[in-house]
Amino acid sequence: KQEVTQIPAALSVPEGENLVLNCSFTDSAIYNLQWFRQDPGKGLTSLLLIQSSQREQTSGRLNASLDKSSGRSTLYIAASQPGDSATYLCAVDRNNRKLIWGLGTSLAVNP
């Protein structure tokens, strides 16, 4: 049974810091992995999608890596800003379109 774990559960950093959010999954037979962002009271915004054959994806200050064999993904945020404050969730897809989710990391970037 696939389980997704995100560490840390919460993170508070000063503005400008580079930071890493971690996601691990128990079954390496995944099709892709997505990172999402959720602002309080809002919906889910897809940030990056990494196919199982890929090692990383980049979008602006965000970089997500994937190591299928070890069951890990990291989301790297460079030069963090207060606007990055949100909950970050990772979800894995085993090609059956049923995303399996972690509980998320709640990030606070302080001015």
Binding site for other proteins (CB under 8 A): 4, 32, 34, 36, 41-46, 49, 51, 89, 91, 93, 96-104
Smallest separation (angstroms) from other proteins to the CB of 17: 27
Helix H, strand E, coil C: the string for the chain is CCCEEEECCEEEEECCCCEEEEEEECCCCCCEEEEEEECCCCCEEEEEEEECCCCEEEECCEEEEEECCCCEEEEEECCCCHHHCEEEEEEEECCCCCCEECCCEEEEEEC
When the beta carbons of 81 and 95 are compared against other proteins, the nearer one is 95
* Least gap, CB of 101 to other proteins (angstroms): 4
Instruction: Closer to other proteins by CB, 103 or 108: give it.
Output: 103
